[in-house]
Amino acid sequence: MSKRTIVTLPGDGIGKAVLDETLRVLDAAGFEAEYVEGDIGWEFWRSEGNPLPQRTIDLIAEHKIALFGAITSKPKDEAFEELAPELKDKGLIYSSPIVGLRQHFGLEICARPCKTYKGNPLNFIRRGKGNDIEEPMVDVVIFRQNTEGLYGGVEWSNPNKQVYDAFMSHPKFKANFGDVPVEEVSISTRIFSKERTENILRAAFDYAKKYGYKSVTLAEKPNVIRETSGMMYKMALQMQANDYPEIELWNTNIDAQMMWLTKNPEDYGVIVAGNMFGDIVSDGFAGLIGGLGFACSAQWSLDGVAVFEPTHGSAPKYADYDTSIVNPIAMIESACMMLDFIDEKDKADKIRKAVAEVIEEGKTKTYDMMKMRGKPDVINKGAASTKQMADAIIAKL
């Protein structure tokens, strides 16, 4: 069989450092692939006025599978300031290339696992009965709708007359905002489609079934956000009853869910939510298992395009260190999700086992695991560099 081709998208800041180390780990696990690098990120915004060039879209369309580091995004005005002078009069407006990728390829399913590693000094602990300290083992996978809802981009400030009139035809808008001058109105919509809501729910239930989780929890707010959350809840009830009677459906409100997060995180299995609530609840759970250095993700379309990325950003303040200090585990775990996706689960499991051994042994820890503030001198104080962490994992492999 010919080697598989993977598109690598290092992006900005620490993206390159964590991706380079991840490729070494993949190699050490015996995964054979051709890698082709795609241009994405701030550099291409500045020099070409497009952080997601068409040639990168073409590469992903051709090879389907991409490993993505991180990008830098900046507010509209700052982005404009940094554009190459010859591009400044072209009316270009910056938009995030990762959101662009999600929408272009319809990467509507996002999965974010949060699993406790034994011995991770960053694990959440709480006080139990009789004041003893408990360290609950979290094993949760969040399924987040990735393309619509509040991040769908349908929004206006000072909306035009047609839009404003349409909103004024809604009695609640009229009653609550009817006397606000139109130039003082900002609107961001939360649109859910039935088809894509069905798809994210099914992905969550299928995953729970395949991997033996006993429950799927819908973390929305159907009692208040009646149309979108309400539709999602009704569909979840029906889907569970018709197709997944062996899995329990739990319904929590997103706000209460965030409160319960620290109370009984070990009780949850698969969690499913719309775009924004999925983003929030997944960051919440990530905090319990070590934070951004450990939070991985996968996103895919139903026709098989998939992008795997750590949930952290480009951490620009650490980008230019001579020796990179950031934790590569989130990126390495994201690559394991890629291996699962392309039927190389044995190699993914091998890498996960190696990571688990390094963490449990506790000899190699990046600065975040030592609870240090990120500075160049953390290496002198005993923290492992990005490369040393990868080396330790490779040694276990």
Of 37, 99, 31, 108, the C-alpha closest to 67 is 37
Q: What is the SS3 assignment for 114?
A: strand
Q: Which stretch binds ligand NAI (CB under 6 A): 159-167, 190-198, 259-267, 322-330?
A: 322-330
Q: Is 20 in the site for ligand NAI (CB under 6 A)?
A: no
- Nearest-approach distance from CB 286 to Mg ion, in angstroms: 9
Answer whether 216's CB lies under 8 Å from 240's CB: yes
Q: Which amino acid is at 108?
A: E
Contacting ligand NAI within 63-122 (CB under 6 A)? 70-73, 98
Which residue among 235, 239, 247, 326 contacts ligand NAI (CB under 6 A)?
A: 326
Contacting ligand NAI within 211-240 (CB under 6 A)? none
> Which partner in Mg ion, ligand NAI, none is near 71 (CB below 5 to 8 A by kind)?
ligand NAI
Q: Is 330 in the site for ligand NAI (CB under 6 A)?
A: yes
| 374 CB neighbour count, 10 Å cutoff | 15
Of 14, 7, 147, the C-alpha closest to 70 is 14
Structure tokens at 252: 């929590």
Q: How many helices (H) and strands (E) does the chain have?
A: 14, 14
Of 310, 271, 321, 266, the C-alpha closest to 125 is 266
- Nearest-approach distance from CB 314 to ligand NAI, in angstroms: 4
Structure tokens at 307: 């992008």
Longest dimension (CA), the chain: 68
Q: Is 292 in the site for ligand NAI (CB under 6 A)?
A: yes
Structure tokens at 151: 């991040």
The DSSP result for 278-291, as a single string, is HHHHHHHHHHHTTG
- Nearest-approach distance from CB 97 to ligand NAI, in angstroms: 9
Q: Is 293 in the site for ligand NAI (CB under 6 A)?
A: yes
Q: Which stretch binds Mg ion (CB under 5 A): 277-285, 328-336, 337-345, 383-391?
A: 277-285
Q: Is 309 in the site for Mg ion (CB under 5 A)?
A: no
Looking at the Cβ atoms of 151 and 318, the one nearer to Mg ion is: 151
Q: Which amino acid is at 61?
A: A
> Which partner in Mg ion, ligand NAI, none is near 279 (CB below 5 to 8 A by kind)?
Mg ion
- Nearest-approach distance from CB 295 to Mg ion, in angstroms: 9
Which residue among 314, 324, 334, 364 contacts ligand NAI (CB under 6 A)?
A: 314
Binding flags for ligand NAI, 342-381, as an x/- string (CB under 6 A): --------------------------x-----x-------
Q: Which stretch binds Mg ion (CB under 5 A): 25-33, 169-177, 260-268, 273-281?
A: 273-281
Structure tokens at 142: 């969040």
d(CA 290, CA 329): 10
d(CA 47, CA 87): 8
- Residues forming the site for ligand NAI (CB under 6 A): 18, 70-73, 98, 292-293, 309, 312-317, 326-327, 330, 368, 374
- Residues forming the site for Mg ion (CB under 5 A): 279
